[in-house]
Amino acid sequence: MSDQTKSFGETARSLARNPLGIIALFIVLVYGFASLVTAFAGSFTAGERLPLIYFLIIFPVLVLCVFSWLVSKHSGKLFAPSDFKNEDNYVKMQMSVVASLSAAAAKGETPASESELHRIVETVRAAPTSVTMGGDGWRKQILWVDDRPENNTYERQAFDAIGLRFTLALSTDEAFERLSQDKYAAIISDMGRPQGPREGYVLLDRLRKEGDRTPLFFYASSNAPEHKRETRNHGGQGCTNNAQELFEMVTRALIEGQPA
């Protein structure tokens, strides 16, 4: 076996360890075959060369489009545990998120069912990896507005396990004080507070009136379709009373909000 063949074999094994590497390996192999065919293109007729020319032009554009779609919609699946400095940390992170979301779903009531646990695991697999990688400091900061933050301990633990950090505010006024001092990637708010049963909308309406487009999600007692529609009508991004859905919505928003 030649040194070049051995080197290529080692490179191929390293690339095959995660989805991104497999994509790169596939591109290399395709262009390798294309180069081999091109070397004998002189023996082809003009009609036989034309499909090869089209392929060499269209293929990279197609790969770029597919890659862009994967990064924007399924970026959490593009990495393998080995992409982390410590694979054990990756497993521990997933287990921590699953445990926290399960506890949040139960909240002292009925434990999460098998189907709910499966959905939690799928949510964790799909969302957090790319959130934890890179990014500016504020892109990992979330403002949580709730006059009873002790009710959301498990939910914050799930987000904390993937590297997100929280600033707490007990009222709308305190939330705006925090916003005047720091920038946040997202805002999570309850709805009813001592100031009023629809204080969440007061916060959201004031934010949008002042031109603040920070994604805002309501984590309240309702998951009704009409409340989800009303949230969107006010300029919010989501409304739920389900911990898994909240985790999925927020992490998806953070991923989509990251620069390419």
Each residue's pLDDT tens digit, 176-195: 999 999 999 999 999 999 99
- Vertex 125 angle, CA 27 and 188, to 5°: 120
- Whether 44 and 61 share a structural domain: yes
Q: Domain end: 77, 111, 135, which one? A: 77
Q: Give the CATH number, domain containing residue 186.
A: 3.40.50.2300
Each residue's pLDDT tens digit, 8-32: 555 555 555 556 666 666 677 676 7
Residue 166: strand, helix, or coil: strand
- Could you give the number of structural domains in the chain? 2
Are the CB atoms for 146 and 171 separated by under 8 Å? no
Cα distance between residue 26 and residue 101, in whole Å: 37
- Whether 154 and 232 share a structural domain: yes
pLDDT-based confidence at residue 94 (cuts at 50, 70, 90): low
Are the CB atoms for 142 and 184 separated by under 8 Å? yes
pLDDT of residue 168: 96
Give the range of the structural domain holding residue 38, as residue numbers without chain letter: 3-77
For 107: left if phi > 0, alpha if psi spans -120 to 50, otherwise beta; the answer is left
- Whether 55 and 166 share a structural domain: no
**103 or 143, greater pLDDT:** 143
pLDDT, average across residues 134-156: 86
- Whether 125 and 44 share a structural domain: no
- Whether 50 and 168 share a structural domain: no
**157 or 66, greater pLDDT:** 157
Say what the alpha-carbon torsion angle 76, 79, 82, 87 is, to the nearest 10 degrees: 0
The least confident of 1-5, 46-50, 245-249 is 1-5
pLDDT of residue 160: 83
pLDDT, average across residues 204-216: 96
Are the CB atoms for 126 and 76 separated by under 8 Å? yes
Q: Quickly list DSSP for 114-158.
A: HHHHHHHHHHHHHSHHHHHSS--GGGGEEEEE-S-GGGGHHHHHH
Say what the alpha-carbon torsion angle 22, 24, 27, 32 is, to the nearest 10 degrees: -100
E strand or H helix at 169, and its extent?
strand 165-169
Selection from 185, 202, 184, 206 nearest residue 253 by Cα: 185
Q: Domain end: 77, 108, 131, which one? A: 77
Residue 89: strand, helix, or coil: helix
Whether the model pTM is above 0.75: no
- Whether 201 and 104 share a structural domain: yes
Residue 257: pLDDT above 70?
A: no
- Whether 32 and 107 share a structural domain: no
Q: What residue type is 67 in one-letter code?
A: F
- Whether 97 and 50 share a structural domain: no
| Beta-bridge partner residues of 115 | none
- Whether 61 and 119 share a structural domain: no
**107 or 150, greater pLDDT:** 150
pLDDT-based confidence at residue 217 (cuts at 50, 70, 90): very high
- Whether 71 and 90 share a structural domain: no
pLDDT, average across residues 47-63: 75
pLDDT of residue 106: 66
Backbone angles phi, psi at 16, to 5 degrees: -80, 5
pLDDT of residue 242: 87
> Above pLDDT 90, what percent of the chain?
32
Tokens coding 95: 């287990």
Q: What residue type is 210 in one-letter code?
A: E
- Whether 229 and 120 share a structural domain: yes
Residue 128: pLDDT above 70?
A: no
Q: Domain end: 36, 51, 77, which one? A: 77
- Whether 150 and 201 share a structural domain: yes
